[in-house]
Structure 1
């Protein structure tokens, strides 16, 4: 096992004992850092506290789209934190559009979420921070439009799923994707791995989200990243060591990690 970075994990959503277990086991799993995305201001605060105790925790600040829109007070509080504490966060995220929530409730006002996302994209440009995106299927072209409008190229589409035309557009624009453990059993993700350049790829767990097959009933843990590397190397017919090195370098460079 070579060194890896979890490019997308919700560390604050684990229980405290689970958090401690994961952090204690990182060295044994050769996991050198965790890009920890937040769901809202309270979430970002928890991650900031964790990062002060363990420098391998690299927090991002954002507002997850698969929930009700923030109140004006919540929004202003988040914005104030972004300006005041930007040096403590490696990225803006997780932000995006509420695809799954709209599937359950078609009455959700997409326009309001698009307007909120545009503000986050503008803030990422202002602060010169990478942006972590939740944008899948037909939502992805909307997000690409916004990124292009504001000339933001340092964009990370986590657990991406979408059509070939959007994939080609994302590759051309230099956007990154990250691959989850479901690549071991999902044909859709395996096809994406084969078509997307390794130079624009990272790996993630999206923990504590659970996975199936060999991971059924198991705590989602960053040690699962090594199985993703194995699968990527197999699908791309590449040397596993080279895949490890490239994924690590991609993530360090994208998130400006120097330690």
Structure 2
């Protein structure tokens, strides 16, 4: 059976009326890791997960935004501390690479926040879902190594060859989006990264191009990603489905 898990989606950013259809339309969809961006996002993902058991919430603060006040951050950490048993992971957390291309930011407070999440993730016993691309990924690897963190998932990763080698050696996982179907750079990354450490995601509702142009991003798009990974890796579709499903299920300790 072609079972899939969406390893990274923002269900809280979809219209509530569409949740049921997104979750139930594809019978092969076994679970969705729904990541959070703010305290309010955490609370909404909690609500969605209470409505649908296959939705596994991750709590965190998305780095591609201006940081909240120290009081607001304290409130966020206090809330996660009270609700950490139900979350599947800490995420989405990381560094503001794209925001930093538009504005001149001081990275120091973002680094402090990320390190706080890393420390708390160890206390909570939860894996990390990371937004860290290009040169930011090197900095994040430094922090993970500093705190001896091994369970790290770099979603929609892009980066230099030396960073890829470092991440492979550390056993960090990456996930690819539907753009693997039409982007040669992502295809090259998937060919280079061990199948044992790969996952698939949508990052929905982020829109895609190619065969997905003008379509609402939904988990069923993952099937085309899996087929492309099978082609790139030279394995059967059945093998690709099984590897990607087991990778995600084991990483997140899912009992799907």
TM-score bracket for the superposition, by shorter chain length: over 0.9
Size of the aligned set, in residue pairs, is 256
Q: Aligned partners of 1:53 and 1:11: how far apart in 2?
A: 12
Task: Kindly report the root-mean-square deviation, in angstroms, between the aligned alpha carbons of the 2 structures.
Answer: 0.9
Aligned counterpart for 2:147 among listed residues 138, 147, 150: 150
Q: Aligned partners of 2:116 and 2:205: how far apart in 1?
A: 28
Tell me what 2:60 maps to.
62
**Residues 177 and 213 of structure 1: is their aligned pair in 2 closer, same or farther, counting only changes over 3 Å?**
same
Q: 2:249 matched to 1:252?
A: yes
Q: CA offset at residue 82 of structure 1?
A: 1.9
Q: CA offset at residue 26 of structure 1?
A: 3.5
Aligned counterpart for 1:176 among listed residues 150, 173, 176: 173
Q: CA offset at residue 24 of structure 1?
A: 2.8
Contact 1:177 1:200 in 2 (8 A): yes
Q: CA offset at residue 50 of structure 1?
A: 0.8
Q: CA offset at residue 78 of structure 1?
A: 1.3
* Correspondence list, 1:86-105, <5 A: 86-105=84-103
Q: Deviations over 1:117-163 (max 9, x none)?
A: 01111111111100000000010000000000000010000000000
TM-score normalized with structure 2 length: 0.98
Q: Secondary structure at the match of 2:58?
A: strand
Q: Aligned partners of 1:174 and 1:12: how far apart in 2?
A: 30
Q: Aligned partners of 1:127 and 1:24: how far apart in 2?
A: 31
Q: Aligned partners of 1:33 and 1:26: how far apart in 2?
A: 11
Tell me what 2:11 maps to.
11
Q: CA offset at residue 183 of structure 1?
A: 0.4
TM-score normalized with structure 1 length: 0.97
Contact 1:5 1:31 in 2 (8 A): yes
Q: 2:244 matched to 1:239?
A: no
Unaligned stretches of 5+ residues in structure 2: none
Q: CA offset at residue 71 of structure 1?
A: 1.4
Tell me what 2:32 maps to.
34
Tell me what 2:194 maps to.
197
Q: Aligned partners of 1:96 and 1:243: how far apart in 2?
A: 29
Q: CA offset at residue 77 of structure 1?
A: 1.4
**Residues 122 and 158 of structure 1: is their aligned pair in 2 closer, same or farther, counting only changes over 3 Å?**
same
Q: Aligned partners of 1:146 and 1:20: how far apart in 2?
A: 38
Aligned counterpart for 1:136 among listed residues 133, 143, 146: 133
Tell me what 1:163 maps to.
160
Q: Deviations over 1:210-251 (max 9, x none)?
A: 000110110000000000000000011111101100111110
Contact 1:58 1:89 in 2 (8 A): yes
Tell me what 2:21 maps to.
21
Q: Secondary structure at the match of 1:85?
A: helix
Aligned counterpart for 1:71 among listed residues 69, 72, 76: 69
Tell me what 2:46 maps to.
48
